[in-house]
Amino acid sequence: MIMIYSCKQQVEEVKLIDSFTGDDANQIEEEIDFIIHRGNSKLMIDMTELKSIDIKAAGFLFNCLKKTKRLDGGLVLINPGKKVRSVLKKLRLTDVFSVFFSRANAIKSLA
C-alpha cells in the first residue's frame, strides 16, 4: 500500500495505491490523524489505483468517516474500482459513503 496526500481547495486528498489491508490501517490512521490535527477534517480518498481492500480496512475508513463528521468535516471516496465497491457493498457501506467519479464533484460536496 502506498499513500500520497495533497490539499486542494481546503480538502485533503489521500491517494491509496495497490491494496489496502487491516495491516496498513495503523500507518494510515497516523497520517489521517496528522491531517485532522492540522485543522482539516475534510478528506477525499482517491481509490483510482486501489486494486483491493479487506474488511478490516473498510471498517477503518468507516471509523475515519465518523471521526471527520464529529469535527464538522467529512470523508468521500473517489473512483473505487469494482472489487473495492464489492467489499463496501458486502459490508453495507455503499449507503454510508459518498462516492464520486470526479474530484471536482467530491470537492463541491465537502465545501
Average pLDDT over residues 3-7: 65
User: Cα separation of 74 and 11, whole Å?
Assistant: 10
| Homologous superfamily assigned to 2-110 | STAS domain (3.30.750.24)
Where are the domains positioned within the chain?
2-110
Assess whether pLDDT exceeds 80 at residue 2: no
Task: State the pLDDT confidence band at 4, using cuts at 50, 70 and 90.
Answer: low
Cα-based distances in Å from 94 to 9, 11, 37, 84, 97: 26, 22, 27, 10, 6
